[in-house]
Amino acid sequence: MKAIGMMCLAGVAAMASAQPLEFVIDPAQSSFDMTITIDLGGLGGDTDSDSSSLSGFMLASFDDPGAPSDTSLHDFQAVMDSDLNFNWVPAFLSTADASLTGGVVEYAAPGTVLGPVPVVGGGFEFPVVPVTVGGVLSVNYNIFLVGSGSEVVDLSTLAPSDTPIAGDIVQGDGVVTMSNTILFEGTQPLFLDDGTEVGQVIFSGAATVVATADLPSCPADMNSDGVLNFLDVSAFLAAFAAQDPAADFELDGMYNFLDVSAFLSSYGAGCP
């Protein structure tokens, strides 16, 4: 039986786990803060800001979720929980207002894993991350002696921007927390109803994200170091040969091929 176990386990001895954890964004600690400037050139301009809490998810993986020395980014999506509203007085006797609905900040290249990057003192930074901002910005304006107009800007049609994402990782009580800030910016021309360009809509802001995930339970991680490798295989074989309960993966008090098969399944599934 031990020989059979060795033969089966040899095929997976070099495998390691790097399954991403799914982090849930905490709306109570996360926000979408946006500033928009109406720039009319020589006529003037004005700036207004608004914010909303955020919900959504992040996917990230670690070399060791319990004590990471590096991390990789897989995906994220942070969605506004409420609409944003803006009001401007960009010039003499001129007014403008806007609302942003469906605002979202998300990873522009899902399926592409970024990293790994080092985690030092709990801190990390991805230097270049493609970020897309989504949502519909509806703008209305009346410019004294120039004219009026309205415009609907679909922010998802704007080109992704490359931005650094830096943050911190904290573990405790079986939970890992990631905190980071995602910056965004963009510019859109402003037109009157007759098609005349009179200025620009300039927007910028940040999504401040705090997200949590449960630390994974991984039965195949026999030495509890957060990584699956031959050390776990060796530890299982030693426990199996000694009929140690740690090797009783079927929890039936017996030590046979069913335990080897259960260990192989757990090992093959990897640690989240």
Tokens (6 digits) for 251: 């929890």
- Average per-residue pLDDT for the chain: 86
- pLDDT over 50 at 16, yes or no: no
Beta bridge partners of 151: 139
Instruction: Tell me the mean pLDDT in the region 44-73.
Output: 91
- Amino acid identity of residue 217, one-letter, is S
Q: How far is CA 191 from the centre of its chain?
A: 35
Per-residue pLDDT band for 6 (boundaries 50, 70, 90) equals very low
Q: Of 60, 35, 46, 42, which Cα lies nearest the Cα of 186? A: 35
More confident residue, 215 or 32: 32
More confident residue, 223 or 170: 170
Tokens (6 digits) for 243: 């009929």
Q: Which long-range contacts (CB under 8 A, 24 or more apart) does 262-267 make?
A: 263/9, 263/219, 263/220, 263/236, 264/8, 264/9, 264/12, 266/218, 266/219, 266/220, 267/9, 267/12, 267/15, 267/220, 267/228, 267/232, 267/233
Q: Answer yes or no: pTM beyond 0.85.
A: no
pLDDT in tens, 216-255: 677 788 877 767 888 888 889 999 999 887 888 777 788 9
pLDDT in tens, 79-105: 999 999 999 999 999 999 999 999 999
pLDDT in tens, 172-220: 777 889 999 988 888 888 888 888 898 999 999 999 999 999 876 777 8
Q: How many CA atoms lie within 13 A of 223 on its CB side?
A: 13
* Residue spans per domain, the chain: 2-14+218-269, 21-214
